[in-house]
């Protein structure tokens, strides 16, 4: 029994719709296969199905054999022909993304700061500490393959099934924990699906039936499945390799009777040393007790860095293989501000860091006095000192720091965290939560700024020679109105809260603003037609390309505000890749060329009477703030950890005019 059809499922059978499809297939007794371009896979394995990579508008055949074959084919074909199949359930399965957000270059310090005892990495979160080393290198599961006698095979399979059951039970227990964050819940749910998948578990059982011991069989099946994922072209699917390995590892450990180490037992004030810390481990780590984080992987804008900064934990990341040199250390000194660490530091280093650490604690206590300061210019205009955020988890830290709203909400993380494009409802809820948290201060939400270097489930990116000059930000969004309009509708819905503003990234042409406005009007018409409550929002643009600077006077006539993105503006003005440390010297916002671009932008905004702010890293620099404000900037948005220092700089009269509390 078989039937062919054209797949209408939105974005095809990627993670969530694939999982739902598999669940439906499993509800029938019949053996069911799905065939694409001559390749047939079991419809009861989400791993195999994901690897088949069934896209929207492709032709597939559903083939079934068994008692209820006809019903199975009918139900599955119906599913494939439903554009919204698998997408309608709110808060669909999120999973960890194995890919980090782009790492921004951190200018290397003067070479003389480097000594043989100090390992330099990315200065990801400032602060200094000396603490006991806590090495977190989950060990490789040893493979000692041995053959199992024919009469022991059934018992070995039973052992394997028990181990799988234990892992799934642990995951079920984790899911039942009410304190588990929604995003972490989704990570566990995704891993649980894999732990039940016949490609992995069935593959392992087949190896045991051939006489291999269960641990080796699990490792073998994991490697084979992970290799299939690693080989596919789709960068998102490639990233799923980590999930497969994580599940295989947990089953192997259960077979060996070993516990996966976790971070809950880390001693107070210890410095965590790891090659990488996955989202799942980080979510369970007691960040308020950790003295510092040192990692082989990660950059200044990686998830670890963002979380470390929002908890004021010093962090040095991106040490690469040198992280292994720290694995045996007893004590670690870390300077997150300058980006170096020392293993078993000598006395002068210890006391230098301890002094720095004490000074930082004192400074934090002193700066806390500025938390509620509302800085003003001499003419009474409020200078908004706002926060740059990437997720709702950071709201608390930003409010704690005294953020006057949000000057940049990077929506990328929301897209990168999920195994499918976040639904309009999920986005609207996220943006509304943000708006409510900071009301009446404004929250500026940036529309999706994603490029070929950051995979997102459901968006195919071409391989590009120069992703920074490529299909990113507003360019991609305008080419994909199906994705962009979902976000715009969600933003319009969240705007009923009254304090939502929206800005477009990477604008280099007035037409991009005009086209965005057309799409916004279309969204308004759609929301009106469906009687969905919404409100209009102020639309602004990021000024982060030289083109935008040069047309700033024209742009100012069409938007409500500018926000200067100095991170990208600097790299584009100076033609110096922000990720390339060899040109870090040129990647300097204080270069006269960049400063001139900022002045031109501010002047155009002031003359047009629109608000101009800044959300690049430079906004938090106390040495530059006075200059920015003199140029006409009235909003400065920064990492929450910089807010109080910036407020102090303004309040202490760097403007030559009294700022008031």
Q: Pick from 581, 602, 561: which is nearest to 105 by CA? A: 581
Q: Which residues contact 389 (CB under 8 A, 6 or more apart)?
A: 395, 398, 406, 408, 409, 410, 434, 640
Question: Is position 565 an interface residue for Mg ion (rule: CB under 5 A)?
Answer: yes
For residue 557, count CB atoms less than 10 angstroms from its CB and return exposed for 0-12, middle for 13-18, buried for 19 or more. exposed
Choose from Mg ion, ligand PEP, none: what does 424 bind? Cβ within 5-8 Å by kind. none
Site for ligand PEP, rule CB under 6 A: 408, 410, 449, 544, 565-568, 615-616
In the complex with Mg ion, which residue's Cβ is closer, 203 or 390?
390
| Active-site position among 303, 311, 418, 420 | 303
In the complex with ligand PEP, which residue's Cβ is closer, 240 or 410?
410
Choose from ligand PEP, Mg ion, none: what does 410 bind? Cβ within 5-8 Å by kind. ligand PEP
Parallel, antiparallel or unpaired: strands 122-125 and 128-136:
unpaired
Tell which one of 568, 573, 595, 645 touches Mg ion (CB under 5 A).
568
Q: How far is CA 391 from the centre of its chain?
A: 8
Distant-in-sequence contacts of 219-223, Cβ < 8 A, 24+ apart: 219/141, 219/143, 219/248, 219/252, 221/248, 222/247, 222/248, 222/249, 222/252, 223/248
Q: Pick from 429, 181, 208, 191: which is nearest to 284 by CA? A: 181
Distance CA 36, CA 40 (A): 7
Q: How many residues does the chain have?
A: 661
Q: How far is the CB of 307 from ligand PEP (least distance, A)?
A: 17
Q: How far is the CB of 538 from ligand PEP (least distance, A)?
A: 18
Q: How far is the CB of 616 from ligand PEP (least distance, A)?
A: 3
| Active-site position among 295, 477, 523, 615 | 615
- To the query of whether residue 151 is one of the catalytic residues in this protein, the response is no
61 bridge partner residues: 4, 35
Q: How far is the CB of 622 from Mg ion (least distance, A)?
A: 22
SS3 579: coil
In the complex with ligand PEP, which residue's Cβ is closer, 94 or 449?
449
Q: Pick from 601, 490, 503, 496: which is nearest to 545 by CA? A: 601
DSSP state letters, 209-259:
HTTB-HHHHHHHHHHHHHHHHHHSS-HHHHHTHHHHHHHHHHHHHHHHT-P
Residue for token digits 């083109």? Answer: 547
Site for Mg ion in 512-551 (CB under 5 A): 544
In the complex with ligand PEP, which residue's Cβ is closer, 100 or 449?
449
- To the query of whether residue 303 is one of the catalytic residues in this protein, the response is yes
In the complex with ligand PEP, which residue's Cβ is closer, 248 or 565?
565
Choose from ligand PEP, Mg ion, none: what does 408 bind? Cβ within 5-8 Å by kind. ligand PEP
In the complex with ligand PEP, which residue's Cβ is closer, 156 or 384?
384
Residue for token digits 């800044």? Answer: 614
In the complex with Mg ion, which residue's Cβ is closer, 86 or 565?
565
Choose from Mg ion, ligand PEP, none: what does 566 bind? Cβ within 5-8 Å by kind. ligand PEP
Q: Which residue is nearest to Mg ion (CB)?
A: 568
Are the CB atoms for 42 and 18 separated by under 8 Å? no
**CA distance from start to end of the chain:** 76
Query: Residues interacting with Mg ion, by CB under 5 A?
Result: 544, 565, 568
Task: Show which residues are catalytic.
Answer: 303, 615
């Amino acid at each position: 029994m078989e039937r062919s059809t054209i797949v209408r499922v939105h974005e095809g059978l990627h993670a969530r719709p694939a999982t739902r499809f598999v669940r439906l297939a499993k509800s029938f007794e019949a053996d069911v296969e799905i065939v694409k371009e001559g390749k047939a896979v079991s419809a009861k394995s989400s791993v195999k199905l994901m690897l088949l990579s069934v896209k929207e508008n492709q032709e597939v055949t559903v083939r079934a054999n068994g008692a209820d074959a006809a019903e199975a084919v009918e139900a599955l074909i119906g599913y494939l022909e439903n554009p919204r199949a698998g997408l309608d359930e709110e808060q669909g399965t999120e999973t960890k993304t194995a890919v980090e957000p782009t790492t921004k270059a951190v200018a290397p310090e003067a070479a003389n700061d480097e000594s043989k005892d100090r390992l330099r990495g990315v200065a990801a979160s400032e602060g200094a500490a000396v603490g006991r080393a806590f090495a977190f290198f989950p060990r490789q599961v040893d493979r000692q393959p041995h053959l199992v006698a024919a009469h022991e095979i059934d018992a070995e399979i039973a052992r394997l099934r028990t181990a799988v059951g234990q892992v799934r039970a642990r995951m079920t227990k984790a899911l039942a924990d009410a304190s588990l964050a929604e995003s972490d819940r989704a990570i566990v749910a995704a891993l649980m699906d894999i732990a039940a998948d016949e490609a992995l578990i069935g593959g392992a059982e087949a190896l045991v039936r051939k006489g291999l011991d269960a641990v080796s069989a699990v490792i073998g099946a994991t490697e084979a499945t992970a290799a299939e994922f690693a080989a596919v072209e789709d960068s998102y699917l490639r990233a799923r390799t980590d999930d497969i390995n994580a599940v295989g590892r947990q089953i192997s450990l259960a077979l060996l009777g070993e516990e996966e180490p976790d971070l809950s037992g880390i001693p107070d004030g210890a410095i965590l040393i790891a090659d990488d810390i996955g989202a799942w481990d980080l979510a369970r780590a007691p960040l308020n007790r950790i003295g510092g984080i040192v990692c082989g992987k990660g950059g200044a804008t990686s998830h670890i860095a963002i979380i470390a900064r929002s908890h004021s934990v010093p962090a040095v990341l991106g040490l690469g293989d040198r992280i292994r040199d720290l694995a045996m250390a007893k004590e670690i000194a870390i300077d997150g501000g300058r980006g170096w660490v020392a293993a078993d530091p000598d006395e002068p280093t210890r006391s230098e860091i301890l002094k720095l650490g004490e000074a930082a604690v004192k400074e934090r206590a002193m700066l806390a006095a500025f938390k509620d300061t509302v800085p003003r210019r001499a003419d009474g205009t409020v200078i908004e000192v706002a926060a740059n955020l990437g997720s709702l988890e950071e709201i608390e830290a930003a409010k704690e720091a005294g953020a006057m709203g949000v000057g940049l909400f990077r929506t990328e993380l929301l897209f990168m965290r999920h195994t499918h494009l976040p639904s309009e409802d999920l986005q609207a809820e996220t943006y509304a939560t943000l708006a409510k948290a900071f009301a009446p201060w404004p929250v500026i939400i940036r529309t999706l700024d994603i490029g070929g270097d950051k995979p997102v489930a459901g968006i195919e990116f071409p391989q590009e020679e120069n992703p920074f000059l490529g299909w990113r930000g507003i360019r991609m969004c305008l080419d994909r109105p199906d994705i962009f309009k979902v976000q715009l509708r969600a933003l319009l819905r969240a705007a009923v809260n009254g304090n939502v503003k929206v800005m477009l990234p990477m604008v280099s042409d007035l037409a991009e603003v005009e086209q965005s406005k057309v799409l916004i009007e279309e969204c308004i018409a759609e929301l009106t037609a469906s009687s969905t409550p919404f409100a209009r929002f102020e639309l602004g643009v990021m000024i982060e390309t030289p083109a935008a600077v040069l047309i700033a006077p024209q742009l100012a006539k069409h938007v409500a505000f500018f926000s200067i993105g100095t991170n990208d503006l600097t790299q584009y003005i100076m033609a110096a890749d922000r990720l390339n440390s060899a040109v870090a010297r040129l990647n300097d916002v204080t270069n006269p060329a960049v400063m001139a671009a900022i002045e031109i932008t501010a002047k155009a905004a002031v003359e047009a009477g629109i608000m101009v702010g800044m959300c690049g890293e430079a906004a938090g620099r106390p040495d530059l703030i006075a200059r920015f404000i003199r140029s006409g900037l009235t909003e400065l948005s920064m990492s929450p950890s910089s807010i109080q220092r910036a407020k102090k700089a303004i309040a202490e009269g760097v403007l030559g005019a009294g700022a008031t509390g």
